[in-house]
Amino acid sequence: MAFDYDLFVIGGGSGGVRAARIAASEGGAKVGLAEESRMGGTCVIRGCVPKKLMVFASGYRQTIADAGSYGWDASVGAFDWGRFTGRLHTELDRLEQIYRENLLKAGVEIHDCRATVADPHTVVLADGKTVTAKHILIAVGGHPVFPDDRSRALGISSNDIFHLEERPARLMIIGGGYIACEFAGIFTGLGTEVTQLYRGAQILRGFDEEARGLIAEGMRDHGVDLHLGTTIVEMEERPTGIYVKASNGHECTVDKVLFATGRDPNTKGLGLEEAGVQLGRRGEVIVDAYSQSNIPSIYAVGDVTDRIALTPVAIREGHAFADTVFGGNKRAMDHDLVASAVFTQPEYGSVGMTEEEARETHRIEVYCTSFRPMRTAFIGRPDRVLFKLVVDQESRKVLGCHIVADGAGELIQVAAVAIKMGATKEDFDRTVAVHPTISEELVTMRTPIRTA
Ligand code: NDP
């Protein structure tokens, strides 16, 4: 049977775009791609990229204050939200255009509309066309979820935060994950009064406990009013703003309430179940190591599969899919030892196991140091950094590395190469320190602080 396309990709985010480009340019496939919103997906349009630019913007207040302490005649003026967001959206337009041009250059046909699956080889486009494809790739990502109707009506999500007309003077953030903690730091840095409520005992569940504690402390020092073990009991709109009463008795009135309470896969109404595709409890597409669903012609990559919801992972999954199906090179994405960074203030970079995870399966040694770095100690700031290695007593391999410090995201990328190669603690030890840096501690920790 002749199909209109060898591959039809639904979703123009990180994973879908990479798969489409590789299948077309290296695999010689005829590829169509549909995107209902803007090309670039969550990462470029409403996630990593605008967030990171906001992290940069928010850091300048402290930098200018520090400059004063270092002897510069410098003072912090007002932050112009409109000036910043104007520039931000110009940059996002530019990046979206690059994504679009790269697809076109690779020969991919773009359909700027929603697409749904009609059967294992047929896609219906919202512009009225129906197309057939030998393979369909679902790369539709996810969306923020609100806990209930009241929070949806009165709150905003991370999708809305980049489109606010003005910077809220008072912001409440609900949640203790990546998004909640990153925006708590960003808005505090921009001069907003931030209150964060998290239902659990400590923020950033799933990450290393020692690191979580230090980050929470650092966020409080930075000015975030963080309430743990706390939920909303009352929330209503009043003339002065949104009134919130928390379960610990704390009451406040804020301009906006940001719900950063997790994300779900975008599979609703996509026609997947009707086409026989097996979905998981949260609506994720269930796939094998090659990103293939139970319907052999339908594959899925990225956040919609609810494996590791990170852009570089989606890109690698998309690439491995294209190599496997169109490049004659069957390979699975390696999900082991994926490093990541949380752009909190202080920043956190981690790779491999947490101490808590490693204890479950290995006999370990823990090397950890926490200290006041030279740059900020000099001007009397209380900031602390943390460097931690979790080592397998038997193989001597470093199972996990955790860094809380300025630039931790940059540092962990480099440490991840060594750890992915199987570096042992002794490999770290025989590497000579770079002095004076904070990261030299990674190669100078001599005595374990704990064994388990
Ligand atoms: P997370 O799953 O990380 O965090 C969700 C938070 O909301 C948790 O603290 C959770 O609490 C809390 N929560 C969930 N439901 C409720 C509820 N009903 N009431 C109150 N609190 C609730 O999701 P995010 O939205 O922060 O991020 C989604 C994903 O996006 C991340 O997992 C990550 O993979 C990716 N991401 C990566 C970034 C990076 O690499 N820097 C940045 C941003 C996002 P509990 O812990 O108790 O479940």
Question: For the segment 238-251, what is each residue's pLDDT rounded down to a tens digit?
Answer: 999 999 999 999 99
pLDDT the model gives residue 420: 98
* Pocket lining: 138 vs ligand 1, CB cutoff 6 Å: no
pLDDT the model gives residue 126: 98
Instruction: Kindly state the average pLDDT of the residues 106-130.
Output: 98
- For 387-407, how does the pLDDT look when each residue is reduced to its tens digit (9 = 90+)? 999 999 999 999 999 999 999
Nearest atom (ligand 1) to Cα of 203:
9
pLDDT the model gives residue 283: 98
Distance 262 CA to ligand 1 centre (A): 4
Q: Omega of the bond prior to 296 within 30 degrees of 0, cis?
A: no
- For 232-284, how does the pLDDT look when each residue is reduced to its tens digit (9 = 90+)? 999 999 999 999 999 999 999 999 999 999 999 999 999 999 999 999 999 99
- For 71-90, how does the pLDDT look when each residue is reduced to its tens digit (9 = 90+)? 999 999 999 999 999 999 99
Q: Using CA positions, which residue lies closest to atom 4 of ligand 1?
A: 177
Report CA torsion sign: 250, 251, 252, 253.
positive
Residue 221 above 90 pLDDT? yes
Q: Out of 52, 199, 311, 340, give the residue to mutate to test ligand 1, the one with the largest number of ligand atoms within 8 Å of its CB.
A: 199
CB atoms within 10 A of CB 393: 13
Q: Using CA positions, which residue lies closest to atom 15 of ligand 1?
A: 261
Task: Classify 207 as helix, strand or coil.
Answer: coil
Query: Is 435 among the catalytic positions?
Result: yes
Residue 358 above 80 pLDDT? yes
pLDDT the model gives residue 377: 98
Domains and CATH numbers, the chain: 5-144+264-326 (3.50.50.60), 149-261 (3.50.50.60), 340-451 (3.30.390.30)
Distance 125 CA to ligand 1 centre (A): 32
Distance 10 CA to ligand 1 centre (A): 25
Q: Using CA positions, which residue lies closest to atom 25 of ligand 1?
A: 262
Q: Could you give phi then psi for residue 445, rounded to 5 degrees? A: -80, 115
Distance 260 CA to ligand 1 centre (A): 6
Percentage, residues of the chain above pLDDT 70: 100
Nearest atom (ligand 1) to Cα of 343:
41
Percentage, residues of the chain above pLDDT 90: 100
pLDDT the model gives residue 65: 96
User: Would you place residue 119 in the very low, low, confident or very high pLDDT band (cuts 50, 70, 90)?
Assistant: very high
Query: CA 413 → CA 56, 109, 230, 419, distances in Å?
Result: 19, 35, 34, 10
235: Cβ–Cβ under 8 A, 6 or more apart, which residues? 150, 151, 154, 242, 243, 244, 245, 257
Q: Which among 337, 186, 169 is positioned nearest to 256, based on CA atoms? A: 169
* Pocket lining: 299 vs ligand 1, CB cutoff 6 Å: no
* Pocket lining: 200 vs ligand 1, CB cutoff 6 Å: yes
* Pocket lining: 197 vs ligand 1, CB cutoff 6 Å: no
How many angstroms separate the CA atoms of 181 and 171, rounded?
A: 13
Nearest atom (ligand 1) to Cα of 308:
34
237-253 per-residue burial string, b: 16 or more CB within 10 A, e: under 16:
eeeebbebebeeeeeee
Report CA torsion sign: 58, 62, 65, 71.
negative
- Tell me, what amino acid is at 344? T
Distance 259 CA to ligand 1 centre (A): 10
Residue 421 above 80 pLDDT? yes
Average pLDDT, the chain: 98
* Pocket lining: 341 vs ligand 1, CB cutoff 6 Å: yes
* Pocket lining: 242 vs ligand 1, CB cutoff 6 Å: no
Task: Classify 344 as helix, strand or coil.
Answer: coil
* Pocket lining: 407 vs ligand 1, CB cutoff 6 Å: no
Instruction: Kindly state the average pLDDT of the residues 336-355.
Output: 98
Q: Using CA positions, which residue lies closest to atom 7 of ligand 1?
A: 261
CB hemisphere CA count around 50 (13 angstroms): 28
pLDDT the model gives residue 5: 98
What is the number of H-type helices and E-type strands within the chain?
13, 22
Residue 209 above 80 pLDDT? yes
Nearest atom (ligand 1) to Cα of 179:
26
| CA-based end-to-end distance of the chain | 61
Burial class for 52, CB neighbours closer than 10 Å (0-12, 13-18, 19+): middle
Distance 104 CA to ligand 1 centre (A): 35
Residue 1 above 80 pLDDT? no
* Pocket lining: 262 vs ligand 1, CB cutoff 6 Å: yes
* Pocket lining: 257 vs ligand 1, CB cutoff 6 Å: no
Distance 64 CA to ligand 1 centre (A): 32
149: Cβ–Cβ under 8 A, 6 or more apart, which residues? none
Q: Could you give phi then psi for residue 170, rounded to 5 degrees? A: -130, 120
pTM over 0.85: yes
* Pocket lining: 199 vs ligand 1, CB cutoff 6 Å: yes
